[in-house]
């Protein structure tokens, strides 16, 4: 797969227009996934009537696909959660590219279409990797466009549209409700209520964050208008875990201002976990019981944040933190631990961290945030389930038990699938970048991990990427946002479950 990807991006005609290469690559992936899904649907329908059915070829499937009416063809894009997620994000990326290449979006008159596409994908996928300096290359209008893309990408177009339709008195069809409950992982009965609560919590958190940051920036010396705009932009970017900043050095200039750092850190944390989970924090602090899923997400988040801060303090006390006071060392170590959870802001020079800190950063970025939030990565619950499964095995327990509840086997399988698919995709992207770019391997690993985890931190290698490298990182950001498991579901055929017919196999693993 990797060799095919490299040869595709090495074709002369494609390299002459990398943006076209990016669109073609995504289109081919999506179209092939839809054809596979069509084939699977046909097989499933036959499987209900008889367990054994003849298989239809891809050619005949494509013929039937092309004969469908335009209405039926469009429904193919909207009747499956994975399809609708990929389609909406791809459309938003293309729309963002179109508005960012407008002359009014740039301070220099125009922006290269590939750079506009890279910025659009980074904003929609709430990553934060940049090839253009946001405050120096984009006008206020362009910065506003980026902010809109961040907000839409962070919340999800479908969530906003669903609540908007309900507010206008329009009801969702049963199919639409089914799709939205799957995408948002909410209860069917409380769909609108849950989505409305998510939007309400988001806007309230972003509003409070914008107010506090605006006051802080104004006190530091910004004019009222500049402080207000910088506060709003930073607040939304932080809550959506995007990492875009209106300062060329991100937040390094505020490393001695703990109020700015902790306000941004709080927004990152609340945005990185699901709003529904955040609302359970007072209940958990009060000693009341909560569901297993939010408990695992919160517990894992706390462990990773504290451990990350301690590791950074220990490994870089005399490194990038050496010139700071003891108190500011603690503030900045905590902030960097938080921002590794797919936020992308930095208050210290990332290129100067020690090797142990570098390894910790790779690990933290790969894990990411929690389900239901705006963060990327394989998610905290995934790594928690894998660790709990490991512990259950070495202690000879037959089941994984959390809060007197047994974790189902399908949840464990899905956690392993997410981690493995993410690791395989990571390896493929690292290999592709390493083959096509003249960049040190350590920088390549960091950039790819940052892109796939939708983090946005960089060691400076992003500016060294050529056109092909930018396209590969764009695909990495896109894949990281929609999730490796989504691609896995699309590329997998649904099979009729007849495992009960087979005997258990004995396989030695040692």
pLDDT at 149: 95
Q: Is a pLDDT exceeding 90 seen at residue 55?
A: no
Q: Is a pLDDT exceeding 70 seen at residue 378?
A: yes
Q: Give residue 192's region: left, alpha or beta (phi > 0; psi -120 to 50).
A: alpha
Provide the token pair at 113: 């279409």
Count of residues making up the chain:
510
Is the pTM above the cut of 0.85? no
Q: What is the C-alpha to C-alpha distance for residues 461 and 115, in angstroms, rounded to an integer?
A: 15
pLDDT at 359: 96
pLDDT at 19: 61
The angle subtended at Cα 201 by Cα 198 and Cα 203, nearest 5°, is 105
Q: Is a pLDDT exceeding 90 seen at residue 48?
A: no
Phi, psi of 406 (to 5 degrees): -90, 130
Element at 402 (helix H, strand E): strand 401-402
Q: Is a pLDDT exceeding 90 seen at residue 504?
A: no
DSSP lists the bridge partners of residue 402 as 405
Per-chain mean pLDDT for the chain:
81
Residue 436 C-beta-side C-alpha neighbours within 13 Å: 25
Element at 460 (helix H, strand E): none
pLDDT at 354: 95
Q: What is the pLDDT of residues 160-185, one digit of tens each?
A: 545 544 454 555 555 555 555 555 55
Exposure string for 299-320, b = 16+ CB within 10 A, e = fewer? ebbeebbeebbebbbebbeeeb
Element at 257 (helix H, strand E): none
Q: Is a pLDDT exceeding 50 seen at residue 2?
A: no
DSSP lists the bridge partners of residue 106 as 138
Q: Is 278 exposed, middle or buried (0-12, 13-18, 19+ CB in 10 A)?
A: buried
The CB density around residue 254, as the number of other CB atoms within 10 Å, is 22
Q: What is the C-alpha to C-alpha distance for residues 194 and 7, in angstroms, rounded to an integer?
A: 46
């Amino acid at each position: 797969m990797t060799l095919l990807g490299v040869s595709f991006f090495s074709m002369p005609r494609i390299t002459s227009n990398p943006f076209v290469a990016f669109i073609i690559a995504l289109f081919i992936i999506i179209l092939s996934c839809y054809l596979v899904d069509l084939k699977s649907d046909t097989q499933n329908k036959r499987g209900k009537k008889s367990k054994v059915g003849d298989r239809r070829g891809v050619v005949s499937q494509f013929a039937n696909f092309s004969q469908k009416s335009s209405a039926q063809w469009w429904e193919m894009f909207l009747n499956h959660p994975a399809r609708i997620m990929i389609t909406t994000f791809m459309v938003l990326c293309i729309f963002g590219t179109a508005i960012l290449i407008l002359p009014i979006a740039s301070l220099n008159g125009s922006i290269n279409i590939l750079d506009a596409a890279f910025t659009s994908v980074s904003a929609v996928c709430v990553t934060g990797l940049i090839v253009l300096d946001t405050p120096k290359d984009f006008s206020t209008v362009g910065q506003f466009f980026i902010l809109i893309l961040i907000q839409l990408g962070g919340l999800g177009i479908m969530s906003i549209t669903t609540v908007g339709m309900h507010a206008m008195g329009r009801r969702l069809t049963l199919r639409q409700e089914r799709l939205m409950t799957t995408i948002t992982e909410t209860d069917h009965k409380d769909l609108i209520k849950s989505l409305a609560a998510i939007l309400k919590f988001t806007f309230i958190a972003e509003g409070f964050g914008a107010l506090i940051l605006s006051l802080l920036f104004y006190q530091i010396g910004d004019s009222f208008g500049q402080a207000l705009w910088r506060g709003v932009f930073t607040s939304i970017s932080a809550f959506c875990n995007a990492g875009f900043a209106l300062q060329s050095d991100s937040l390094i200039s505020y490393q001695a201002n703990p109020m700015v750092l902790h306000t941004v850190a709080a927004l990152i944390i609340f945005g990185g976990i699901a709003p529904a989970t955040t609302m359970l924090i007072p209940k958990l602090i009060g000693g009341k019981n909560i569901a297993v899923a939010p408990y695992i997400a919160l517990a894992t988040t706390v462990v990773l944040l504290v451990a990350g801060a301690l590791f950074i303090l220990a490994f870089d006390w005399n490194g990038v933190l050496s010139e700071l006071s003891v108190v500011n060392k603690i503030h900045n170590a905590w902030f960097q631990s938080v921002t590794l959870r797919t936020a992308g802001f930095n208050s210290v020079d990332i290129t100067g961290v020690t090797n142990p800190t570098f390894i910790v950063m790779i690990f933290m970025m790969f894990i990411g945030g929690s389900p239901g939030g705006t963060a990327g990565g394989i998610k905290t619950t995934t790594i928690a389930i894998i660790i709990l499964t490991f512990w259950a095995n070495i202690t000879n327990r037959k089941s994984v038990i959390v809060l007197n509840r047994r974790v189902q086997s399908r949840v464990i399988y899905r956690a392993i699938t997410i981690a493995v698919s993410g690791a395989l995709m990571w390896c493929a992207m690292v290999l592709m970048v390493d083959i096509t770019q003249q960049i040190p391997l350590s920088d390549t690993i960091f950039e790819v991990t940052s892109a796939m985890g939708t983090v946005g931190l960089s060691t400076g290698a992003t500016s060294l990427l050529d056109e092909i490298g930018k396209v590969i990182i764009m695909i990495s950001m896109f894949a990281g946002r929609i999730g490796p498991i989504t691609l896995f579901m699309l590329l997998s055929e649904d099979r009729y479950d007849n495992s009960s017919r087979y005997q258990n196999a004995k396989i030695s693993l040692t």
